[in-house]
Amino acid sequence: MKTETPIVYIVDDDEAVRSSLRMLMRSVGLQAQALGSAREFLDAYDRRQSGCLVLDVRMPQMSGLELQQQLNQRGATIPVIFISGHGDVPMAVEAMQHGAFDFLQKPFRDQELLDRVQRALALDAQSRATSAADAQILERLKSLTPRELQVMRLVTLGKANKVVGADLGVSQRTVEIHRAHVMEKMQARSLAELVRMVLDTEEATHKP
Amino acid sequence: MPPTSRKKVLYVQPLAGGEVERLLHAMQAPFNQCAGGREAVTIAASRPLTCVLTPLQLADMSTTTLIEALHNAAPGLKVIVIADNPAVSEAVAVMQAGAHAVVDSHRLSTGLYHQVAPLLRGA
């Protein structure tokens, strides 16, 4: 179930570790959910839910690294903090190469983990806000007519209305009208803002 | 493609020279050497490279500064850090700074092969 409050998911097959970490998160006012296996997490996780994942590397059945791969395949962007009592450099490198937010060796100080969790939550909030803003701009783009899209592309390339008119075989006045509609529909207050929106959406649609 | 036109691995001394060279030869990886971080950045800015191999400790700059400078000079360039028995926390810090991989010098042959060979195939 999705809530507005971010959740710190804790996945570890050791019940004592799960309980102590859940208590640690709650002690600083964070909402935490502890799960005993990767499978349990996959069943419980809703990718619309903001938060981060504190994940043990070594677990029976599906390891933490395998769970990370599953999440990557599903396009889940939840920041993952690995914790490991047996972590070595190749394992940490592999986790980081696959996009882990951090990799922490047990035993660690409570504050070390809390600092990382707070940073991971901030990152998740930021990337969700960016995605939401990109989605909003894409929605606005969909509201443009084909002609307005053409005009927008040309004006954001820096072409003057007169040149755009010549390119499209319409009058300068017609271009001005389309341009005004584009600015209104895109909720852009200036050409610079419109250009930024176009660049942001291009970047967002080219993300892997 | 003749070997001379292939992109090269840039290997920053003072790595444990002989062994790295032997391994790069064994992988048929064309490579250049340079004396330190500054020279590596200059070279990376002037020609395409497969990757840069660098020690964790450099005389003229920190590894994180080097990685940042290399990425500014050649966006997307892979930087592989070779370290002598690194701690996991050191490896993670270097990865967070943008390194492609960290290889333990005590496992150089498997580490380099594992990290460099795929890059050579894509070069």
Distance from CA of B118 to the nearest CA of A (A): 14
Query: What single-letter amino acid sits at B112?
Result: L
Considering only CB atoms, B95 lies closest to which of A88, A96, A105, namely A96
How does residue B1 score in pLDDT terms, banded at 50, 70 and 90?
very low
Cα gap B20→B53, rounded to integer Å = 9
Task: Measure Cα distances from B97 to A79, A126, A144, B31, B85 in Å.
Answer: 17, 20, 41, 24, 19
| Cβ-based burial of A189 (10 A; exposed 0-12, middle 13-18, buried ≥19) | exposed
Q: What is chain A's mean pLDDT, rounded?
A: 92
Q: What are the tens digits of pLDDT across the range B12-47? A: 976 555 888 889 999 999 999 998 999 999 999 999
What was the pLDDT predicted at B17?
Answer: 59
8 Å CB contact of A89 and B88: yes
Q: Which residues of B touch A88 (CB under 8 A)?
A: 88
**A88 in helix, strand or coil?**
coil
Check whether the bond before B14 is cis (ω within 30° of 0). yes
What is the C-alpha separation between A154 and A191, in angstroms, rounded? 12
Q: Among positive and negative, which fits the CA dihedral B46, B52, B53, B55?
A: positive
Percentage, residues of chain A above pLDDT 90: 82
The residue type of A171 is S
pLDDT at A198 over 60: yes
User: Whole-prediction pTM value?
Assistant: 0.79
CB contact under 8 A, A89 and B89: no
CB pairs under 8 A between A and B: 32
pLDDT at A173: 93
Collect all residues of chain A within an 8 Å Cβ-Cβ radius of residue B92. Answer: 92, 96, 102-103
Distance CA A181, CA A80 (A): 43
Beta-carbon separation of A92 and B111 below 8 A: no
CB contact under 8 A, A87 and B88: yes
pLDDT at residue A205 is higher than 50: yes
Per-residue pLDDT at B2 exceeds 50: no
Q: How crowded is the C-beta side of B61, counted as CA atoms within 13 Å?
A: 17
A-chain CB neighbours of B96 within 8 Å are 96, 102
Residues of B in contact with A83 (CB under 8 A): none
pLDDT digit string, tens, across residues A115-169: 999 999 999 999 999 888 888 898 999 999 999 999 999 999 999 999 999 999 9
- In the DSSP assignment, the letter for residue B84 is S
Task: List, as one string, the DSSP characters of A154-191.
Answer: HHHTT--HHHHHHHHTS-HHHHHHHHHHHHHHHT-SSH
Nearest CB among B91, B107, B111 relative to A92 is that of B91
Which residues in chain B touch residue A93, judged by CB atoms under 8 angstroms apart? 91, 95, 101-102
Query: For residue A133, what pLDDT is reported?
Result: 87
Query: ipTM of this model?
Result: 0.81
